Amino acid sequence: MSERTIPLIDQRSSDLATPAAALQAHSRLGARGLLADTLGRPLRDLRISVTDRCNFRCSYCMPKEIFDKDYTYLPHAELLSFEEITRIARVFVAHGVQKIRLTGGEPLLRKNLERLIEQLAQLRTPEGLPLDLTLTTNGSLLARKARALKDAGLQRVTVSLDGLDDAVFRKMNDVDFPVADVLAGIQAAQDVGLGPVKVNMVVKNGTNTHEILPMAHHFKGTGVVLRLIEYMDVGATNGWRMDEVLPSAEVVKRIHAELPLVQLDPSVAGETAERWGYANAAGQHDQAAGEIGVISSVTQAFCADCNRARLSTEGKLFMCLFASRGYDLRALIRGNPIDDDLTSAVAHIWQGRTDRYSELRSTLPADTSGGARRVEMSYIGG
């Protein structure tokens, strides 16, 4: 049987935990109460998925044989409206979130996304500071939308790009999309000031490993930060195998052999990427040449610093990329103009958080879900 022929059971709306029990047991917190989970991790980063649809079919994320013409996406009425997203985001910001990343699916497919960005850009932290507002995109629509995104208040973008060779890239996105259009999107983002632009490259051993060095050469000295990501066992449809993971240590070794690198300090606490700068002849970081990042989600778990919550397109809150159940926040706000329940629920859910999947991965049995399937990356967002 092929690795990918896993029957798909739709877990998006079934058997999802609600915060009702949490609310009952909970003594209410002020919206400004500083939160820490059971492992002492603060809540700082909220990733919001604005659509479960995508125009690509990257095999590691939305394999064609599952996400085909018969696949049922969420109906429009199920999606959070921009006002609902902003309302939820405001509560998270009051609880300590400083950074919001819009994702998907492909976020630029969501109609009028600039309107949402305008609303989110108005939010302020309890200290009165604006948020770090970013977006992850496959870049296919970026050339035409970069200016409007910037004008709406977006600060930066991360663009996913798995190789420079057109044939390799067309195969990886599996919709025959040309690499030149994504490169044009990256250029447009730089031109309008949506930088520093980061480029995410998922490294799949045996598929695009030979693209690592061309990508490093291409982006060195351009101001773009290339980030090489270990292929993850997220979701339940990509047929992930450990032998398709190229450890980040090996990625760094290969680049260093041709373009010498020096390790850099993390720029912020909880940063997922390990930073490496291009070295000058004296072995010092050459600022003009820039840096790369490696994200070792599989071989070097960073759960201890994980300060991220994820909100799905329909308003389910997930505490971990590898979770199978989310908390229905939409149920707490639709038809309820008061934010108290939402505020208490978010506090209680975060304070009860125990998730650290990547740290436990190697010690866990193959299926830890108790029968529930892990959510897909395209649904929860990366």
Binding site for ligand SAM (CB under 6 A): 54, 60-61, 103-104, 106, 136-138, 160, 200, 202, 229, 231-232, 234, 238, 377-378, 381-382
Tokens for 327, please give them: 């908390």
224 is a contact residue toward ligand SF4 (CB under 6 A): no
Q: Are strands 291-295 and 274-278 parallel, antiparallel or unpaired?
A: antiparallel
CA atoms within 13 A on the CB side of 130: 12
Among 46, 56, 157, 294, binds ligand SF4 (CB under 6 A): 56
Output the smallest distance, CB 335 to ligand SF4, in A.
31
Q: Is 47:310 a contact under the CB 8 Å cutoff? A: yes
Interaction partner, residue 326 (ligand SAM, ligand SF4, none; CB < 5-8 Å by kind): none
Output the smallest distance, CB 289 to ligand SF4, in A.
28
Q: How far is CA 219 from CA 254, 257, 278, in A?
A: 16, 17, 11
Q: Could you give phi then psi for residue 129, rounded to 5 degrees?
A: -95, 150
Tokens for 177, please give them: 């999309």
Interaction partner, residue 63 (ligand SF4, ligand SAM, none; CB < 5-8 Å by kind): none
185 is a contact residue toward ligand SF4 (CB under 6 A): no
Output the smallest distance, CB 285 to ligand SF4, in A.
27
Stated as kind and residue range, the H or E segment containing 341 is helix 340-351
Give the closest residue to 371 by CA, choosing from 304, 324, 306: 324
Is residue 190 classed exposed, middle or buried when 0-12, 13-18 and 19+ CB atoms within 10 A define those classes? middle
107 is a contact residue toward ligand SF4 (CB under 6 A): no
Give the closest residue to 226 by CA, choosing from 186, 191, 281, 257: 186
Among 189, 236, 252, 321, binds ligand SF4 (CB under 6 A): 321
Among 163, 357, 372, 380, binds ligand SF4 (CB under 6 A): 357
Interaction partner, residue 229 (ligand SAM, ligand SF4, none; CB < 5-8 Å by kind): ligand SAM
**Interface stretch with ligand SF4, choices 120-128, 149-157, 256-264, 302-310 (CB under 6 A):** 302-310
How far is residue 356 CA from its own chain's centroid?
A: 16
Output the smallest distance, CB 297 to ligand SAM, in A.
7
163 is a contact residue toward ligand SF4 (CB under 6 A): no
Q: Which residues pair with 225 in a beta bridge?
A: 198
231 is a contact residue toward ligand SF4 (CB under 6 A): no
303 is a contact residue toward ligand SF4 (CB under 6 A): yes
Give the closest residue to 154 by CA, choosing from 145, 163, 162: 145
Q: Could you give phi then psi for residue 379, rounded to 5 degrees?
A: -90, -45
d(CA 289, CA 105): 32
Output the smallest distance, CB 221 to ligand SF4, in A.
27
Of 343 and 378, the one with the shorter C-beta distance to ligand SAM is 378
Interaction partner, residue 325 (ligand SAM, ligand SF4, none; CB < 5-8 Å by kind): none
Give the closest residue to 292 by CA, choosing from 318, 317, 255: 255
Interface residues with ligand SF4 (CB under 6 A)? 54, 56-58, 61-62, 104-106, 138, 160, 301-303, 306, 308, 320-322, 355-358, 378
